[in-house]
Amino acid sequence: MKTITKTKAIVLGNRSRYSSKRNSTSNSGFSLIEVMIAFVVLLIGMLGVMGMQYYAVSGNAASRDLRVATSLSQQLVEQMKLTPYINLASNTDVPALNAAMSGGVNYTRAWWVVPDCVGLAAGGNLCAGGAPACTTDPDGAVAVQASAIRTRTCWTDKRGVAHSVTLDTMRWNENAVP
């Protein structure tokens, strides 16, 4: 009989706990206001993510344009390394122009060869125009057996902003006698 009494006490104790929860005034679920506030918070977060995505995509496009322009200029430099020195010196006054297209962007390449020059002065960012100015040899007494070469690739991005990449290099006359 003791066992039965204990069982009844446990059952009665559990009933009293359950009954106190059932008698509470809170209802389960969310109100319409709580759902609307949650959607507004979610919308603000999603707009922030979309804004970051826009800047990431435009940054990637600008990086791709710069990489392509640098590659095009580097191709010209490599091509001029393979050209015999005597053939380089003939292109001095007017830049040679060449066009390429990649990803819907037009690139204009120009290059200048200035014979008997140790370096080129900083110039504008245009792909057209005269030969860049040659910096003078500090010694000045000995003729320089080298040509300075400048390659420049210009393009306009999709927002209409002009850009350019300029590479300068030297080409020594391998046939010159010191």
- 8 lies in a domain? no
Range of the domain at 41: 33-172
Write out 40-77 in H/E/C secondary structure: HHHHHHHHHHHHHHHHHHHHHHHHHHHHHHHHHHHHHH
pLDDT digits (tens, 9 = 90+) for 142-178: 667 888 888 888 898 888 888 989 898 888 888 777 6
Has residue 111 been placed in a domain? Answer: yes
**What is the total count of domains within the chain?**
1
- Let me know if residue 178 belongs to a domain: no
User: How large is the average pLDDT for residues 126-131?
Assistant: 69
Question: Is 21 within the bounds of a domain?
Answer: no
Residue type for position 13: G
Q: Is residue 3 part of a domain?
A: no
How confident is the model over 44-94, as pLDDT tens digits?
A: 999 999 989 888 888 888 899 999 999 999 998 898 888 888 777 655 444
Q: Please indicate, yes or no, if residue 16 is contained in any of the structural domains.
A: no
Rounded Cα gap, residues 164 and 124, in angstroms: 10
Q: 13-17, 37-41, 63-67: lowest mean pLDDT where?
A: 13-17
Classify residue 19: in a domain, yes or no: no
**177 found inside a domain:** no
Give the whole-angstrom CA distance, residue 173 versus residue 115: 10
- Taking the C-alpha atoms of residue 162 and residue 97, their distance in angstroms, rounded to an integer, is 17
